[in-house]
């Protein structure tokens, strides 16, 4: 059971009553001034575009490539196994093939070779006997292997977009906007974006020109990669994506065309959402499970029949990836929620990242599963399995939750790691299995320190914050609202999909979807004039706390819904806030809870609400104890639940006709925990996680010391 609300922040105080006024609010929130900036931002044709020769070493790289082509030297393009690396490799290989150059390519295997130009793959690189090696989407940190190639007389051009270390590789050219002496005006191109700029520079040089077809293919692939790699969708990246979408309406790349035919339903829009949920997982699945050569075949194939076969293979591999991922996720959850799991590593007794290990879990899905666990439990997560190339070691992938800095935490305990890398939100690591216990101890200890520091700094947990654009009145919601919002596409980092708030809506209908995983709400306003449809994906638990006739506030995104040729407006819910009863114990529930947990007695708290008899709303009755346990047993069970206690109080009241305040529900849970009926941890004063422990024994609550203290307080 997952019932947790979020903090809402509004960028604009203005209440929008007319769809025509919406665009102006959105542009202002993004700091886009009227005039040329606005025209450029909204234009389908024009946009920011930089001269590729502003890159350091670009001129030298073009000269070296021209010389190698003219001398019929062999060029080896070395890529990466993810979507960015695959598309970047395809961009350069297609360009070189268009000039009949002697070109070959290598993309490493995730589990065998790891990321980058590693020592493990050097024999394979050298066996190709290249005169020139060009790295794409990697290489800027591979100082030693680049040095080895140079010692063998092989020329090297590094093209990359990742952060550099203290020393640049000793390549002939390093084209990377993250280098310290960078002169390129935009640092957030992805790997395929950098490859696109290299092809553009070669075309501008004119020695080996770029044909229109090759350029359009390069733009299409760079657009896909820009979305896939989650780089900033601003500046030149915005222009790349827009031009890619324009070209993809009638694709030049055969593989892109085949994927469109297979996946784009009639009436559906080709946009960043379609690319993210359809293209990207299929391309990445090849590198996660098998060999990225399958994905490269899709983009390098000119025969539509062969390209279709490649696309079908990728779809099959992606389906297999989903099955493997689901299996690992379920096994990881079973580990975490196993009653036999040592108490000190239970979710209710730890504050640091959750850690799970499976001997035979597929390395290619560790990161995805870590991300899913993180979102499911609201905790950072590390997922380990036996490393395929390092006997006695476990390879792990981690994802951070909220503003927890995973990379900083690992840096502090790096003595327990063989190696690690990553950034604040994600990391990979290698741990000796004999030291796994010590690593987990150090991880938990250091995490506690970090949370203590964070508490002192008063930072907000950004994963629990909704940054909304503005409040829209019910009369301001129409399909024209969707059209206005769509003018800001493409959405992504730096230009997030707008989230809006509408208050005071009344539920006229509620239904479950997909076996209870999601909910659909029919909504109207207080006048009964609005007729809105909203879907809450992954919000199925809200079905048990909402009823027709309830008044709610919602945070949502605006979308189109196509069904049987008809298009309508659909709101996708980000959060729901039920309206609560009047009175201190509901309206100020968080204050009451903080006062009690700080040691203030109930009769003292009661003085905070003069004129209200709130003492009767503080001590649970036997009826409330019973209803509360029935509710958590039915809707939570032995699985771990994370809930806001105000929402849990509503769950109890709605399903058992027993009125409870959040304060009373929290006291019930504390008694159950003292009786060993549940494991319980307070995440915040108003949020708890718990799971039921099936003891099989009858328990007398009055024997509990916590019970006696609460009832006798």
Hey, what domains does the chain have and what are their CATH numbers? 2-25+469-578 (2.40.50.460), 52-245 (3.90.1640.30), 338-460 (3.10.310.30), 584-712 (1.10.10.10)
As a whole number, mean pLDDT of residues 178-206 equals 96
> Percent of the chain beyond pLDDT 70?
97
List pLDDT tens digits, range 227-248: 999 899 999 999 999 999 999 9
pLDDT of residue 713: 57
**Range with the lowest mean pLDDT among 75-79, 374-378, 562-566, 577-581?**
562-566
pLDDT of residue 476: 87
Six token digits for residue 468: 């909304």
pLDDT exceeds cutoff 90 at 74: yes
Q: Which residues contact 2 (CB under 8 A, 6 or more apart)?
A: 376, 538, 541, 641, 642, 643
pLDDT of residue 464: 79
pLDDT of residue 696: 64
As a whole number, mean pLDDT of residues 451-470 equals 70
List pLDDT tens digits, range 503-550: 999 999 999 999 999 999 999 998 888 889 999 999 999 999 999 999
Cβ contact 12:28 at 8 Å? yes
pLDDT exceeds cutoff 70 at 457: no
Radius of gyration of the chain (CA): 28
Q: 543-559 burial, b if ≥16 CB within 10 A, otherwise e?
A: bbbbeeebebbbbbbbb
pLDDT exceeds cutoff 60 at 29: yes
The DSSP string of 225-268 is: HHHHTT---SHHHHHHHHHHHHHHTS-SSHHHHHHHHHH--TT-
pLDDT of residue 339: 77
Q: What DSSP element (H or E) covers 283? A: helix 280-289
Q: How confident is the model at residue 459 (pLDDT cuts 50, 70, 90)?
A: very low
pLDDT of residue 565: 66
Stronger pLDDT, 93 or 614, i.e. the higher one: 93
List pLDDT tens digits, range 386-439: 987 788 999 999 999 887 888 889 999 999 999 887 777 888 889 999 999 999
pLDDT exceeds cutoff 70 at 364: yes
Q: How confident is the model at residue 637 (pLDDT cuts 50, 70, 90)?
A: confident
Cβ contact 283:291 at 8 Å? no
List pLDDT tens digits, range 138-173: 999 899 999 999 999 999 999 999 888 889 999 999
Please give the model's pTM, rounded to 2 decimal places: 0.87
pLDDT of residue 455: 59
List pLDDT tens digits, range 260-280: 999 987 767 789 999 999 999
| CA-to-CA separations, 76 to 89, 144, 155, 193, 276, in angstroms, rounded | 10, 18, 10, 19, 29
155-159 β-sheet, strand order: 102-106, 74-78, 132-136, 155-159, 173-175
> What's the mean pLDDT when you consider all of the chain?
90
Cβ contact 471:434 at 8 Å? no
Distance in angstroms (rounded) separating the CA atoms of residues 313 and 322: 14
Six token digits for residue 246: 């324009």
As a whole number, mean pLDDT of residues 114-134 equals 92
């Amino acid at each position: 059971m997952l019932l947790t609300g979020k903090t809402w922040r509004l960028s604009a105080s203005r209440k929008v009553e007319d769809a025509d006024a919406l665009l102006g609010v959105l542009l202002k929130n993004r700091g886009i001034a009227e005039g040329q900036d606005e025209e450029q931002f909204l234009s389908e044709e024009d946009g920011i575009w930089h001269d590729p020769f502003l890159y350091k070493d670009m001129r030298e790289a073009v000269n070296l490539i021209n010389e190698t082509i003219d001398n019929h030297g062999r060029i080896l393009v070395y890529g990466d196994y993810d979507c960015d690396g695959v598309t970047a490799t395809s961009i350069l290989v297609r360009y070189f093939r268009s000039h009949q150059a002697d070109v070959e390519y290598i993309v490493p295997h995730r589990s065998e070779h790891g990321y980058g130009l590693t020592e493990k793959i050097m024999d394979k690189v050298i066996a190709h006997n290249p005169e020139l090696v060009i790295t794409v989407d990697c290489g800027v940190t591979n100082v030693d292997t680049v040095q080895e190639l140079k010692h063998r007389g092989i020329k090297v051009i590094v093209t990359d977009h990742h952060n550099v270390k203290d020393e640049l590789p000793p390549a002939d050219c390093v084209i990377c906007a993250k280098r310290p002496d960078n002169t390129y005006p935009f640092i957030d191109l992805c790997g395929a974006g950098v490859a696109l700029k290299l092809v553009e520079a070669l075309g501008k040089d004119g020695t080996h020109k770029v044909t229109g077809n090759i350029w359009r293919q390069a733009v299409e692939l760079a657009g896909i990669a820009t979305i896939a790699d989650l780089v900033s969708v601003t500046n030149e990246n915005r222009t790349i994506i827009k031009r890619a979408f324009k070209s993809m309406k009638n694709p030049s790349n055969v593989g892109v065309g085949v994927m469109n035919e297979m996946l784009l339903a009639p009436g559906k829009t080709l946009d960043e959402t379609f690319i993210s949920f359809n293209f990207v997982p299929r391309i990445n699945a090849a590198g996660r499970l098998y060999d990225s050569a399958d994905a490269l075949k899709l983009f390098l194939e000119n025969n539509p029949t062969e390209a279709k076969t490649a696309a079908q293979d990728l779809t099959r591999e992606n389906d297999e990836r989903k099955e493997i991922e689901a299996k690992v996720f379920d096994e990881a959850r079973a580990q975490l929620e196993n009653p036999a799991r040592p108490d000190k590593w239970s979710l209710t007794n730890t504050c640091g990242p959750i850690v799970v290990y499976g001997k035979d879990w597929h390395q290619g899905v560790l990161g995805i599963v870590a991300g899913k666990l993180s979102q499911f439990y609201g905790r950072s997560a590390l997922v380990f399995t036996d490393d395929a190339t390092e006997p006695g070691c476990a390879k792990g992938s981690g994802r951070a939750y909220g503003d927890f800095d995973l990379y900083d935490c690992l840096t502090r305990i790096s003595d327990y790691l063989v190696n690690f890398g990553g950034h604040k939100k994600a990391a990979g690591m290698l741990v000796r299995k004999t030291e796994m216990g010590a690593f987990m101890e150090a991880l938990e200890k250091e995490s506690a320190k970090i949370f203590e520091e964070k508490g002192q700094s008063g930072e907000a947990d950004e994963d629990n914050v909704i940054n909304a654009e503005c409040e829209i009145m019910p009369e301001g919601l129409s399909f024209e609202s969707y059209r206005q919002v769509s003018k800001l596409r493409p959405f992504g980092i730096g230009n997030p999909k707008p989230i809006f708030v509408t208050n005071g809506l009344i539920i006229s209908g509620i239904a479950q979807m997909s076996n209870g995983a999601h909910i659909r709400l029919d909504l109207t306003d207080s006048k009964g004039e609005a007729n809105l449809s909203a879907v809450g994906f992954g919000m199925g638990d809200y079905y048990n706390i909402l009823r027709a006739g309830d008044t709610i506030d919602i945070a949502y995104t605006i979308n189109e819904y196509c069904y049987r040729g008809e298009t309508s407006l659909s709101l996708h819910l980000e959060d729901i806030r039920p309206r609560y009863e009047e009175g201190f114990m509901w309206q100020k529930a968080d204050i009451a809870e903080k006062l009690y947990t700080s040691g203030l007695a109930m009769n003292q708290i009661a003085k905070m609400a003069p004129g209200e008899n709130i003492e009767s709303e503080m001590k649970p009755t036997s009826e409330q104890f019973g209803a509360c346990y029935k509710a958590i047993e039915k809707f939570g069970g032995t699985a771990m639940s994370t809930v806001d206690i105000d929402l849990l109080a509503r769950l109890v009241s709605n399903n058992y006709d027993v009125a409870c305040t959040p304060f009373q529900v929290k006291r019930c849970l504390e008694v159950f925990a003292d009786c060993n009926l549940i494991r319980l941890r307070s995440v915040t004063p108003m949020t708890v996680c718990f799971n039921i422990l099936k003891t099989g024994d009858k328990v007398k609550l009055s024997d509990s010391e916590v019970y006696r203290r609460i009832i006798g307080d």
